């Protein structure tokens, strides 16, 4: 990401610093939805973000996953391997313990993965706004 110069995002400071610093609400919701993803199914970051009402915060979904699997993972593990991008691409595979952990995990659930991409992604796609 180095389009050139996109450093403009500088809205006035937060009006209520004590409102909710770490928030965690968004992240918590993301984890909740991720856990609802049925095994053998996959969804996209945007789908989750949209379901939470933050369709434009799809990036945060991925960030939430990163924290979810970290050492500070909440009690329950989050199936981050079932969350892929809009193209069915395992964009987050590099963040797993091993580069093949994500694909291997999906294959274990019956999901075919080829070239880091979910085969038949459209058929396996699980949309929370529709299914939930």
Partner DNA sequence: CATCTGACAGACG
Partner DNA sequence: TCGTCTGCCAGAT
Q: Does residue number 115 form part of the binding site for DNA (CB under 7 A)? A: no
- Smallest CA-to-CA distance from 64 within 93, 26, 36 is with 26
- Smallest CA-to-CA distance from 35 within 70, 72, 83 is with 83
Judged by CB under 7 A, the residue of 31, 33, 41, 45 near DNA is: 45
Least CB distance from residue 91 to DNA, whole Å? Answer: 3
Q: Does residue number 63 form part of the binding site for DNA (CB under 7 A)? A: yes
* Residue 9 token pair: 């995002």
Answer whether 122's CB lies under 8 Å from 41's CB.
Answer: no
Least CB distance from residue 120 to DNA, whole Å? Answer: 17
- 103 Cβ contact list (under 8 Å, min separation 6): 90, 93, 113, 116
Answer whether 48's CB lies under 8 Å from 41's CB.
Answer: no
* Alpha-carbon span 48 to 55, nearest angstrom: 8
Judged by CB under 7 A, the residue of 33, 42, 65, 118 near DNA is: 65
Site string for DNA, 67-106 (x = CB under 7 A): xxx----------x--x-xxx---xx-xx-----------
Judged by CB under 7 A, the residue of 28, 59, 107, 112 near DNA is: 59
Q: Does residue number 5 form part of the binding site for DNA (CB under 7 A)? A: yes
* Residue 50 token pair: 């949209």
Residues that bind DNA (CB under 7 A): 1-10, 13, 22-24, 26-27, 44-47, 49, 54-63, 65-69, 80, 83, 85-87, 91-92, 94-95
């Amino acid at each position: 990401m180095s389009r050139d110069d996109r450093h403009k995002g500088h809205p006035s400071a937060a009006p209520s610093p004590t409102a909710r610093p770490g928030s965690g609400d968004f992240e918590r919701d993301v984890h909740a939805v991720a856990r609802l993803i049925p095994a053998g199914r996959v969804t996209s970051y945007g789908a989750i973000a949209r379901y939470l009402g933050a369709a434009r915060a799809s990036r945060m979904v991925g960030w939430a996953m990163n924290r979810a699997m970290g050492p500070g993972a909440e009690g329950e593990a989050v199936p981050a391997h079932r969350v892929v991008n809009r193209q069915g691409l395992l964009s987050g595979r590099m963040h797993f313990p091993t580069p093949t952990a994500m694909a291997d995990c999906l294959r274990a659930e019956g999901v075919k993965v080829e070239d880091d991409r979910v085969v038949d992604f459209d058929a396996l796609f699980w949309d929370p706004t529709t299914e939930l």
